[in-house]
Amino acid sequence: MTAAITPADFDALMGACGPWAPAPRLAVAVSGGADSLALAFLAHEWACAKGGEAVALTVDHGLRQESADEAHRAGEWLQAVGMRHHILKWQGPHPKTRIQEAARIARYDLLTRWCRANNVMYLLLAHHCDDQAETYLMRKERGSGPAGLAAMRAVTPPPGGGFRWPLLVRPLLPVGKSDLEATLMARGQDWIRDPSNENADYERVRVRQRIKGAPDPDALTAELVQEAKDHACVRDLIDRDLCALYARSLTLSPYGYALVKDARDIPETLGRDFWSRLLRTVGGRAYPPRSDRLETFIGKLGREDFKGATLAGCYIQRAQSGLLVIREAAGIQDDVPLSPELVWDGRFLIRSSLAPGNTDDDRVRRLGEDGVRALMRDWPEARQWSVPAMVRRTLPGVFRNGALQGLPFFGDAPGIPASLKGIQAQFVPLAPLVW
């Protein structure tokens, strides 16, 4: 049954995503559509009632002529109730293919950058239970495992490497789209209708139309959401067991490699998840390796003659104390200018406090064989460095006109030779080992 969301309802929804600070500061991603606009009004009232603030952020992708006018119209509606509103524009050239994927990446980048620049820890998103049902059905048809079939979490870190904040919060996952529209209608509030939401060129729109075309769309949506919840329970159990397993059988280095102490201790039931997550973390990958390749690799691990393998951007080799899992050096393509803040190879967040004029010619790229030789030649103390030789080739170095200038500080790791004062690297990969 459709019903407008009351302040008490929303307080309960937010409470399920907490705990929250006494005077919470939030940002809300607002497109101007019914879902995000309703969320913005509710979040504004909720935060103000607690002595905090919710700020609305609208990304103008510039993909439609109307987008700028729509962004300003949404701002006018929000400012009329006293809510601050900022428009973030997607600058620069846009790709000609996979435009929706690129727009999604740009949108999250703009939103999360604003939050970090303004010290806002939480970014609210308006995904609701209809979105959850669509996400689950799309992943089911792609053959996703339990983690994928669990669909969207209520609270997650942002996508991409290098940062774990602002946290993305989806308080409306238990709520239907019709309830959000009813919330606006009860206020006499109009909203923007995006024609792309009816464009059947997009997979999500086709799935949405199929659900709407079912004999009982509401019942089908509830069934799909429940299936996603069931898979979420399985995922959470796997997460719990994996956390315990990683704690006792794995060492993860701030230099971005891992040591598996004894692969025989990994239960067969957790083997695929154990290796899939570990390879994503070390390899700086957003997605897990293909199932068939992962199964082949796990089969090789059990053989006495196993010496090494390459999979998902990683090299796995036997060592005296277990199995080393290392980023494959040949797969590292990042060669970028040194800047105050950058994510390198999907694995390291590199921050520089050096004055810009002193770094105009500096670039960050993998050490490789030449860089390691320069390190050993110019910094003799590097010969005593405990980092395995294969790992050294995969690390970021700072080069000027092709000559190695030195290395960043890697977190709190001790004994780093050739460290450059003012440059730090933190291992924060695209896919964290556990969340």
Q: How far apart are CA 33 and CA 126, in angstroms?
A: 10
Q: What's the predicted TM-score (pTM) here?
A: 0.85
Q: How far apart are CA 383 and CA 78, in angstroms?
A: 61
Token pair 């946290």 in the structure block, residue: 167
pLDDT at 357: 58
pLDDT at 355: 64
CATH top-level class of 236-329: mainly alpha
The average pLDDT across 265-269 equals 90
Q: How far apart are CA 70 and CA 390, in angstroms?
A: 53
Report percent pLDDT > 70 for the chain.
98
Rg (CA), the chain: 24
Measured at the CA of 225, the angle between CA 220 and CA 226, to 5 degrees, comes to: 100
Residues of each domain in the chain carrying CATH 3.40.50.620: 7-231
pLDDT at 147: 82
List, for residues 367-414, the tens digit of each pLDDT value. Answer: 999 999 999 999 998 888 989 999 999 999 999 999 999 999 997 777
Backbone angles phi, psi at 123, to 5 degrees: -120, 115
Measured at the CA of 193, the angle between CA 77 and CA 139, to 5 degrees, comes to: 120
Residues of each domain in the chain carrying CATH 1.20.59: 236-329
By mean pLDDT, which of 29-33, 227-231, 306-310 is the weakest?
Answer: 306-310
Q: What is the CATH number of domain 7-231?
A: 3.40.50.620
Q: What is the DSSP string of 184-203?
A: HHHTT------GGGG-TTSH
Report percent pLDDT > 90 for the chain.
75
Q: How far apart are CA 56 and CA 49, in angstroms?
A: 17
